Structure 1
Amino acid sequence: MTWPRLREITRAMLSDGPAIVLAGAFVLMTVLAAGPLHFVDTFFNEFPRPEISRATWLFLDYGPDEIASRFVAIPALGIVALYLAHRFRSWRPLILGAAGVVGMSGLVWGLKLLLARHHPKTFDPTYFSDGEGIAFPSGHGANAIMFYGLIVYLLMRYKLIAQPLVRKLIYGIVAIAVVQTAVSVFMQFHWFTDLVAGMIAGGLTLRLVIVLDRTVPPGRTRSWWPWREGAAAQQRRPSPAVAGDDRIRPVPSPAPRADAGDGVRAAMARRQVLTYPVRWGESMVGSFRDRATRNGAPVSTNGVYRGSRSRERD
């Protein structure tokens, strides 16, 4: 198993259908937000708002809006990635989490600084302000889709949650994105198109991280894990000739004593001990070949042990 080359990863990302659709939607929203959708942004920004108390304002600011902030979403993703990495002895969850954080931050903040859109409280939805605006696209909208979506994907990938729960979690992510959008528009933190473009950017980054995961061969990052087994455990492992081979192999019987008779010698020459090797070098040794073939022991007709063994996932 080897790492795919950079051009192979790039080709997989550029040829992925959902990623192409999301990238096209993001470019289209960026163009529409530059002028054709100004009337939508102006409508939501100038819509009459009821008077709210200071306590309600603080609740909305540090409640529904803060759930999608990077100060909440990134630590949540980090905790899940660390747990999965430790449980499955793999760097893959940490690599995917870091790729998502770096990729989305680069995309969102790069466009924020490049386009420099005015803040909604200026009532000017145009791009290229005098260095004061960083409204487009919304980082909160991208966080809600990217970080929480990646958490659900990792838990689903390692089969820690059932499919009905996955569906409920996806509904929860959509609810977080919708509520955060409503709160940001109400409090004039973002233009409406900022939030829509941010959610599309989050979905695009999430899709590219999934493509990256699928291009890395299974089990590749497990070999890097330094705390999997120590030197003593390595010495207890079976020899390479036996490891990974589940076929029944006869083990030679001990040599008969010199003073044994011909009948004893013939009986010991016919005797065979069957060994059933399993994954970690443990074996079941016994002289019950007849019982294994007559009484339905977990041995198939081609001599393969059918016992249970743990399934590794990376």
Structure 2
Amino acid sequence: MRTDRIFSRLEQEPHRPRGPFPRMSPVRLGLFSTTVAFYLAIVVAVLGTTWLVQLDWQVMLFRPYKQWPAVHGFLDAFVVLGQRGPTAVLVAAWLGWRSWRQRTLRPLLALGFALLLLNASVGAVKIGLGRLGPHYATEIGSAELWAGGDIFPSGHTANAVVTWGILAYLATTPRARRWLSVVAAVFALGVGATTVYLGTHWVSDVLLGWAAGLLILLGLPWCEPAIARVEATVLAWRERFSTASSPQTGDASPAASPAAQPMPARQPLVGARLPAQDSGNGTRAALPRTADEARSAASSRS
């Protein structure tokens, strides 16, 4: 691979990208509606203490972390890929470089909008339902709702879907979008399954977390007009600030160049001529005299 091709990808692009940006297509709208239905079905199943809650308890009592202790250390570190702080910093650093290279704030603004929606939607459901986690459960077979917990849906899982999925959402080529979608899916599925293995979440928590994160990614095209307006406002403020902070030039005009200075008026020429002077090529030429010079020469002869 040629190194100049690699280094060219590290330089700023000459122009800002002009789209097309993702839009709410019929396919995306259908996926969004299906995910909403799945989300509501999970919530209703937990509220009704159905077979899903029984599955939660069966997996919890199975204690996977005791069945396969050899992978406990690795999975305990792997689950960090779902924590909001570390993942947000990593993804923001990458998207910050993308913003600089493409001369646009859209990547960072899209991440900000996605995390804001994630905190608002997932946090509201967590606080509203107040479900306890497996380690704090008090009654076998109970859904453990409205008990002061904040475990449902899984924030780790939803955050993994959003923070890694935003890279695929912002990809500029179909090939990059496919590869990043696979990476995001592996991280999101892996983080969700790991929380169940560690016993920090119920199975239903993870299912709802996947749905919550996917809803945010599928609904981001509705935020594109707001992202464009915020970007235009920020760039206008930056332009205004840079103009105001630039040094002001004085009103004094620069010194006139010798070519711009007026030439002194010359006396009218008369027929008398000055003595011949060497023209530089071996011949001598007589120069015309002014009127004052002619009168001075006439008086000297008399």
TM over 0.5: yes
Q: Which amino acid aligns with 1:182?
A: A
- For residue 110 of structure 1, what is the aligned residue in structure 2? 124
1:46 correspondence with 2:57: no
> Taking structure 1 as reference, are residues 134 and 218 closer, same or farther at Cα in structure 2, changes over 3 Å only?
closer
Measured in 1, the distance between the counterparts of 2:79 and 2:182 equals: 18
1:59 correspondence with 2:74: yes
> Deviation of residue 143 (structure 1)?
1.1
- For residue 170 of structure 1, what is the aligned residue in structure 2? 181
**1:1-314 alignment runs, 5 A limit:** 16-34=29-47, 35-36=49-50, 37-49=52-64, 50=66, 57-61=72-76, 63-121=77-135, 122=137, 123=140, 125-131=142-148, 133-154=149-170, 156=171, 159=172, 162-213=173-224, 215=225, 221=231, 224-225=234-235, 226=238
Percent sequence identity over aligned pairs = 22
Q: In 2, are the aligned partners of 1:90 and 1:222 still within 8 Å (CA)?
A: no
| Greater fraction helix | 2
Q: In 2, are the aligned partners of 1:125 and 1:191 still within 8 Å (CA)?
A: no
Q: What's the TM-score once normalised by structure 1's chain length?
A: 0.59
> Deviation of residue 168 (structure 1)?
2.4
Give ranges in structure 1 of 5+ residues lacking alignment: 1-10, 232-314
> Taking structure 1 as reference, are residues 218 and 183 closer, same or farther at Cα in structure 2, changes over 3 Å only?
closer
Q: In 2, are the aligned partners of 1:119 and 1:125 still within 8 Å (CA)?
A: no
Q: Deviations over 1:101-124 (max 9, x none)?
A: 111111111111110112112255
Measured in 1, the distance between the counterparts of 2:83 and 2:185 equals: 15
Q: In 2, are the aligned partners of 1:26 and 1:200 still within 8 Å (CA)?
A: yes
Q: Deviations over 1:62-89 (max 9, x none)?
A: x221111112221123223322322233
Q: What's the TM-score once normalised by structure 2's chain length?
A: 0.61
Q: State the aligned residue count.
A: 211
> Deviation of residue 59 (structure 1)?
3.4
Q: In 1, are the aligned partners of 2:168 and 2:180 still within 8 Å (CA)?
A: yes
> Taking structure 1 as reference, are residues 190 and 219 closer, same or farther at Cα in structure 2, changes over 3 Å only?
closer
Measured in 1, the distance between the counterparts of 2:240 and 2:105 equals: 12
Measured in 2, the distance between the counterparts of 1:192 and 1:71 equals: 24
> Taking structure 1 as reference, are residues 60 and 141 closer, same or farther at Cα in structure 2, changes over 3 Å only?
same
> Deviation of residue 222 (structure 1)?
5.0
Q: Which amino acid aligns with 2:177?
A: V
> Deviation of residue 153 (structure 1)?
1.3
Q: Which amino acid aligns with 1:151?
A: L
Q: In 2, are the aligned partners of 1:100 and 1:146 still within 8 Å (CA)?
A: yes
Give ranges in structure 2 of 5+ residues lacking alignment: 1-23, 244-302
Measured in 2, the distance between the counterparts of 1:31 and 1:65 equals: 28
Measured in 2, the distance between the counterparts of 1:219 and 1:52 equals: 51
> Deviation of residue 19 (structure 1)?
2.6
- For residue 282 of structure 2, what is the aligned residue in structure 1? none
Q: In 2, are the aligned partners of 1:90 and 1:224 still within 8 Å (CA)?
A: no
Q: In 1, are the aligned partners of 2:54 and 2:141 still within 8 Å (CA)?
A: no
> Cα RMSD over matched residues?
3.2
> Deviation of residue 216 (structure 1)?
5.3
Q: Deviations over 1:87-107 (max 9, x none)?
A: 233232232211111111111
Q: Secondary structure at the match of 1:80?
A: helix
